[in-house]
Amino acid sequence: MYKPTIKNILLCIFTKYIAFYVFLMFKRNDFSMLEANDIGNKLLYFLLMMLPLSIVSMLLFLWPIIYSFKMKNLICFIFIINLVLLIEYLVYTYLASQSNLWNGIYLTIISLLFLGLFFYKHIILMFK
């Protein structure tokens, strides 16, 4: 769908975290962010909770992901993406969710889905 450029990879990471936090909202059955009263403060709180981790993720993983898409070797691409996913899991579980390690697994699955959704055409070309 998209070319793996810096802007598109950053967009992928940011939308991945939005989807992940929406997933957690449904998983926890906590829809307090969607209540009509005081939506401005709740939106600000949501952004302040979401932005630091997504910015850390953008800083840590932007260049390895770009490098993996520039690789001509499929095995190296798969290795780098798996390494990025493993480090992302470790960073998330250490910084944000030490009590529930399953959230890190959910984030890894969502990360893989979003990489596939955003860059499936480029990934398919790599497999040919």
State pLDDT tens for residues 54-110. Answer: 898 999 999 999 999 998 888 999 999 999 999 999 999 998 888 888 999 999 999
Tokens 């798996």, residue located:
82
> Which of 105, 100, 103 has the alpha carbon at shortest distance from 85?
105
CA 72-74-75 angle, 5° bins = 125
Instruction: Work out the mean pLDDT of the chain and round it to a whole number.
Output: 87
Look at 37-46, 57-66, 86-95, 118-127 and tell me which has the smallest mean pLDDT: 37-46
Cα 31 from Cα 9, distance rounded (Å)? 29
The predicted pLDDT at position 78 comes to: 92
Report residue 121: phi and psi, to 5°: -65, -45
